[in-house]
Structure 1
Amino acid sequence: MEYKEAVRRLAPCGLGCSRCADYAGGEIRKLSVRLVELLNGYLRVARVKEAIKPVFTGYPQFEEVLKSLTQAACSGCRGDNVLCPIECVAGVCSKEKGVDFCFQCEESPCSKKIDTQIQERWLRFNLRMKEIGVEDFYQEQSRLPRY
């Protein structure tokens, strides 16, 4: 993977935007779309299975969640349609500093308030990118679960 492509897929903090369930062009959205297609009409079968496997009584809720995943529309932290629920200063700060990732800033690691939900990962990811490079970091992360 080229550096530019890795930058497009990773947030400045190091989180993998392209692997997020809300990412418009992500694999989770694509697989959800395909699964909705494959399960078209399955509700009828789920109702029959309820008597044998009570878990199928929850199929309508599952179907609703699955359809919701097909509506992913976030462009990622570097795009024009950022829908991330995590408020993070890394995106704004990286633009101001003219860097792609926090570790590239001469002030890194800084004392800016990073959202507590991602602070530990932010530091770990940026140290790892600095150690092995952005492209290798992306490849490494792409083999791991996003959540």
Structure 2
Amino acid sequence: MNNPAENTRTVVVEKVFAYPPEKLWRALTEPSLLAQWLLNNDFKPSVGQAFQFRADPMPNWSGIIDCEVLIVEPLARLSYTWNSMGLESVVLFTLTPGEGGTHLRIEQSGFRPDQEAAYKGAGYGWKNFVGKLEQVLEGDAA
């Protein structure tokens, strides 16, 4: 029998930030900071917590992403579902401290073969979001 997960793809974006894990963790988990680089949200870092990301609606899209927190390991791992427009995926952030900063790995998994546009869009989107995250970390707010 086929395992549906075997037929899915994952977007991976990685970057080393010149900041300690504590600073990155705040930007990943504090709703006001998260809104500055990702999307407006009602996020709470608690396993099982349902929340939404909200963007401006566009043609054929409500602008709402339904999520549920799956993993909260402070300063190390954060994961939640990311469901919108028929896409049911999982986002995982992994923080690894190292020389001169913190390595951040972002994985979004669960893209089916018929979701090519969503897969490509996520690759572009996460790279763009990481650039905004860098700007938030450079500011005094984080």
TM-score by length of 2: 0.30
Q: Where is the strand percentage greater, Structure 1 or Structure 2?
A: 2
TM-score by length of 1: 0.30
Structure number, greater radius of gyration: 1
Q: Where is the helix percentage greater, Structure 1 or Structure 2?
A: 1
